[in-house]
Structure 1
């Protein structure tokens, strides 16, 4: 299993929320308690997205324009995708000048005082589809993820708070399919939407990482045939008692050359990377109070629970038992 697939598999919470809004301007929605990762796109028309808080340096980074007053906004044309990561709130509107009409806190909607057009955003046009549905309307699609655990944090660490992926043929085809399925209500529909949203997310992550210099080192290392293969086997079987020599032999390199290339591309030696990933897996396993420390140790390749506890404390700063008591 490759690194990105492993992260998505371990971090992914089920039952993602997918909603479609079809509405003519002006409209504005503010999200005050969003999930850890949101995918927003416009299928027709345009929209603006900005975070509640942002830097005030007037910079342009990955398509996000900071106006110098602490408010960042990005304009999404048809087919563009915004990935919003982190716990902070954000607003989606037809224009940054449009004041919020609806505040959404979790799954609760509240009309903003003085708004006369906001009720249209709650008119049900089809399954998971809201708005006025009139000609010339913006069509916006929003998918919300609740990522879990340390694997989720590692996945979110790939992204800035707001990343934008320009429209492209691959993502557009997936978005059209997701939009079509979002309006259906047939057996297995939630499973279909979960998988289609995963597809959109993976394609968007690929496109963003390919277009930025700030992608994680391990992602960039996947392009190297030897190091990419080494990362794949480490994630496929993290409990195995890997040695640098065995990994080097697996990818057809000398031990010294492999260790040097892995460290240069990934940013840390092979076994240090493996230990860090094992502790990520272990931290998530420890969230289950019914799983013993000894069982977690075996799951991540430690026959001796004491040796596992020493390694976990060195990486995480607390023993497995203490970490479990501190972590919700």
Structure 2
């Protein structure tokens, strides 16, 4: 798998949720902070205001996408002056997001203009947080453009159609589309960052062909006997320049990232499969089950067997 696909596969857990909501002005709704989750809001029709707790209001129009990678609290309203309802989101999740197997939600605030919003949430695994996500801001706003992000627009339209008119197979289609939407949002964000002058960090790394080639090699085959020299060959650079370049962009040396990714992959396998420990050890590059258990405990603070029982 490529790096971004792997990151999403590791960090997301449980079932993503979404709802297709019609708001009738005047309306205002607070969405409380939900640690361990990521959320998004997509304006499908009409307009509204995003009211972050510690920033200026942002006007949103049809087609605008807002992504909150850390589940930060926020408010949507037809106007910054509208009185806001109590939080619709609690620590156990969002009541609206459980509605996608039924009709669209209709929130009647009044008889004014209608705004249609696609609300969604992803549950994240805090133990598998990839450093790529740590570089994201608390709020990402992708404004609508008629000639930009056609794939994101198509995913939004497909998801909205399924939520507005559920049919046979909707319960299978919606989670897949939500994962697709998440990937498109992250792809667009990281692709567009270099134009803003970033020279270090994951945005720069994912747009740097040599480092990206090495990352893809690690993610494609974490069990391979990688060395700095072999990864440098994948990157098309000599050993020393590659090691400096990788560490500058990623924030850790190549073999440090390799070990971290192996142990993160092992944790996912322990949670999601009943494969024996020796098999998991082999899948992440360890011929010795003892050496694997030692490395795993050093990173996760517990033995692989105990981790599996507790998760």
Name the TM-score, length of structure 2 as normaliser. Answer: 0.79
Q: Aligned runs of 1:46-57 on 2, under 5 Å?
A: 46-51=47-52, 54=54
User: What corresponds to 1:136 in structure 2?
Assistant: 113
- 171-180 vs 309-318, which moves further: 309-318
**DSSP-derived class of the 2:76 partner:** strand
1:84 positional shift: 1.6
SS at match of 1:43: strand
What is the rounded CA distance, in whole Å, between the counterparts of 1:224 and 1:49 in structure 2?
Answer: 34
Within a 5 Å distance, the mapping from 1:132-281 to structure 2 comes to: 132=108, 136-152=113-129, 154=131, 156-168=133-145, 169-170=148-149, 171-209=152-190, 210-211=192-193, 217-281=201-265
Aligned residues of 1:313 and 1:320 also touching (Cα < 8 A): yes
**How far does the alpha carbon of each residue in 1:248-292 deviate from its partner, in whole angstroms, 9 at most, with x for none?**
223433223322332233222211111111122233344469565
Secondary structure at the aligned position of 2:226 is classed as coil
Alignment of 1:284-323 (within 5 A): 284-287=268-271, 293-320=277-304
Which stretch has the larger CA shift, 153-162 or 237-246? 153-162
Relative to structure 1, the CA distance from residue 314 to residue 246 in structure 2 (aligned partners, 3 Å threshold; closer, same or farther) is same
- Long gaps (5+) in structure 2: none
1:218, 1:33 → 2: CA distance?
Answer: 26
Match of 2:32 in 1: 32
Query: Displacement, 1:6?
Result: 0.5
Cα RMSD of the aligned pairs, angstroms, is 3.3
Distance of 1:178 and 1:186 partners within structure 2: 12
- 2:211·2:246 contact (CA, 8 Å) conserved in 1? yes
Q: Does the 8 Å CA contact 2:200/2:249 hold for their aligned counterparts?
A: no
The residue number in structure 2 matching 1:21 is 21
- Which consecutive unaligned segments of at least 5 residues does structure 1 have? 55-64, 67-72, 110-122
Match of 1:83 in 2: 67
Q: Deviation above 6 Å: which 4+ runs of structure 1? A: 213-216
Distance 1:86 1:264, change over 3 A: closer
Normalization by structure 1: what TM-score? 0.76
Q: In the TM superposition, what is the alpha-carbon distance from 1:77 to its structure 2 partner?
A: 2.2
d(CA) in 2 for partners of 1:191 and 1:152?
26
- Closer, same or farther: CA 91–291 of 1 in aligned 2, 3 Å: farther
CA distance in 1, matches of 2:63, 2:291: 51
What CA deviation, in whole Å up to 9, does each residue of 1:179-224 have, x standing for no partner?
2222122221122222322232222222323246679823421222
CA deviations on 1:287-328 (whole Å, 9 max, x unpaired) are 469565544433321222332233334434555466667x65
